[in-house]
Amino acid sequence: MKKYKIVHKITADFIAEAIVNEDEIDTSINDLKEYNKPNSKFNFTMVKGTESVTQTNYELYDEKPNNSHKDSISDKWY
C-alpha cells in the first residue's frame, strides 16, 4: 500500500512569554533590550482557534532514509 506525506503550511497567533530579572530590562525608559522581539528565551503558546492553513502539499512517501535526490517541500515554498 502506498503512503503519502501531507504537509500543511499554517499561520496562527501565538503568545510569547519570558520571565526576566529586573537588570535585564530598563523599565524607566521601556527598553526591553534583547527581549524586544520574541526569541528562543520565550515560551510560545498557540492561541486556540487562530490557525489557518495557507498551503497544502502532498507527495508519495519514501521510507528510505537517504532521500536527497528529491526536492524538499520546504524548498518549493521559499
Q: For residues 50 and 12, give the distance between their C-alpha atoms in angstroms, rounded to a whole number.
A: 5
**Residue 48 corresponds to which cell in the numbers above?**
486556540
Task: Check pLDDT > 70 for residue 8.
Answer: yes
- pLDDT confidence band for 16 (50 / 70 / 90): very high
Q: For residues 1 and 19, give the distance between their C-alpha atoms in angstroms, rounded to a whole number.
A: 50
Global pTM?
0.62
pLDDT tens-place string over residues 38-76 = 999 999 999 999 999 999 999 999 877 655 555 555 556
Average pLDDT over residues 12-22: 98
pLDDT value, residue 5: 95
